[in-house]
Amino acid sequence: MVSISTFHCVFLMFLLACIFEVGYGKMVFNVMEDGAIADGNTDNSKVFENVFNKACQSKGRKLVLIPRGIYMLRPILILRDSGKLDGQGPSAWNNNTSSKDPNCKALPILLRFDFITNSRITHLTSINSKNAPVNVFACKDVKFDHIHIIAPKDSPNTGGIHLGSSSNIQILDPTIATRGDCVSMSPGSKNINIKNVKCGPGHGISVGSLGEGPNEEDVSGFMVTNCTFKGTDNGLRVKTWARSYASNVFNLTFEDIIMDNVMDNVNNPIIIDQQYCPSRNCEKGDSQVQIRNVKYRNIRGTSSSKIAVDFECSKGKPRDKIELNNINLTYHGAEGAVASSCSTAKRITNGQQQPDSYSTHSCSTFHEIKTYSSLIIQFFW
């Protein structure tokens, strides 16, 4: 069973098509049946409000269906308290028989936003989604603010906000504490502004895995600022399949990331992994994904692993313009002082703080490790 206290959702202007899948969707509330008109002119605000109210008040599994079309909406406010969606995940997490039963259906994603434009989704809380809590696909000019996502850190596949094929997306002030990526971005993510994220537990903020299929859309233009990570497995991660198809990742900036005293269990605070191959089913090889112009600035805190900065590159596509500026990550564990691990990256020269720390060649061999009590790197080119 699914319980929803109140659904608070603001749509501004147009909505192309949007499916809210709540729980294991069976009871369907189709806006067309309540008189919605998808002509781009008729004001559908009242209809949508009624449909959401009906869905929220009914018990059991439900789906609000908004068929493809252009719906004119005034800002709709259905609120009092912030909206809470309880996915009732624990009832399903232990029943996952898909490994034994090939006909087993995937568990539902709690909220799907598909083909939405010019919208704002605000003050929503997802608790214990059965599968991914928020999936954003083919959206444009959408702002998500104050989205809170909660699930136990040992829950399967929960994650946070997942984006794909979407552009001009803002994710502001979310709190995400689950298992999986707090925010993850797949091919076609462009101009993404992520700000004031409180992440952890979870896997940090991730780009990828990229290069899985042919003709993947590029990934570009991320601004990730003022985020804190607490007890996450990774911090800022870019991953491409080891044996990949060609694509491009460029213009990513990660700035003012505060890990001080809050990131005690992070494995790799900064990682670019172009050798991603987590299972036996994937092939090793040289990634054909070109990574260019990635900036890490003002990142500080503690690392629970010795390798605070880990760059696993592709010999086929050396990365270009990776900037590490004002990074101070300390490690207090048993293995000694913090280290960075660095391989094939082009045009890296050593910084001022540690004149002997990095030289051009120290980053050209695979996995060379240098050790310092704290790591302060500035690369210029």
Ligand X SMILES: *[C@@H]1O[C@H](CO)[C@@H](O)[C@H](O)[C@H]1NC(C)=O
Task: Decide whether 72 or 376 has the Cβ nearer to ligand X.
Answer: 376
CA quadruple 124, 170, 182, 375: dihedral sign = negative
Part of the chain binding ligand X (CB under 6 A), chosen from 15-23, 36-44, 221-229, 311-319:
221-229
- Identify whether the C-beta of residue 55 lies closer than 8 Å to the C-beta of residue 62: yes
Q: Which residues pair with 162 in a beta bridge?
A: 135, 184
Q: Does 309 bind ligand X (CB under 6 A)?
A: no
Q: Does 99 bind ligand X (CB under 6 A)?
A: yes
Using a 10 angstrom Cβ sphere, with 0-12 exposed, 13-18 middle and 19 or more buried, the burial of residue 18 is buried
Part of the chain binding ligand X (CB under 6 A), chosen from 49-57, 89-97, 115-123, 139-147:
89-97
Please tell me whether the peptide bond between 209 and the residue prior to it is cis, using omega within 30 degrees of 0. Answer: yes
Site mask for ligand X (CB under 6 A), range 282-301, x = bound: -----------x------x-
Q: Which of 250-280 are b and which e, b meaning 16 or more Cβ less than 10 Å from the residue's Cβ?
A: bbbebbbbebeebbbebbbbbbbbbbbbeee
Instruction: Tell me which of 82, 168, 226, 298 binds ligand X, using CB under 6 A.
Output: 226
Q: Does 5 bind ligand X (CB under 6 A)?
A: no
Work out the angle at residue 186's Cα, subtended by the Cα atoms of residues 181 and 187, and round it to the nearest 5 degrees: 170
Instruction: Tell me which of 33, 39, 81, 260 binds ligand X, using CB under 6 A.
Output: 260
* Tokens standing for residue 309: 């900065």
Q: Does 304 bind ligand X (CB under 6 A)?
A: no
Part of the chain binding ligand X (CB under 6 A), chosen from 90-98, 262-270, 276-284, 336-344:
90-98
Active site residue 146: no
Q: Does 196 bind ligand X (CB under 6 A)?
A: yes
Shortest gap between Cβ of 269 and ligand X (angstroms)? 13
Instruction: Tell me which of 140, 198, 347, 370 binds ligand X, using CB under 6 A.
Output: 198
Question: Which residue, among 30, 58, 57, has the nearest Cα to 44 in the 3D structure?
Answer: 30
Question: Of 8, 123, 148, 203, which residue is the catalytic one?
Answer: 203
Using a 10 angstrom Cβ sphere, with 0-12 exposed, 13-18 middle and 19 or more buried, the burial of residue 166 is buried
Q: Does 242 bind ligand X (CB under 6 A)?
A: no
**Cα–Cα separations (whole angstroms), residue 364 to 133, 165, 233, 353:** 40, 33, 27, 21
- Identify whether the C-beta of residue 322 lies closer than 8 Å to the C-beta of residue 348: yes
Ranges within 172-191 binding ligand X (CB under 6 A): none
Residues with catalytic function:
203
What is the contact surface with ligand X in residues (CB under 6 A)?
91-92, 95-96, 98-99, 107, 131, 156-157, 196, 198, 220-221, 226, 228, 250-251, 260, 293, 300, 328, 330, 374, 376
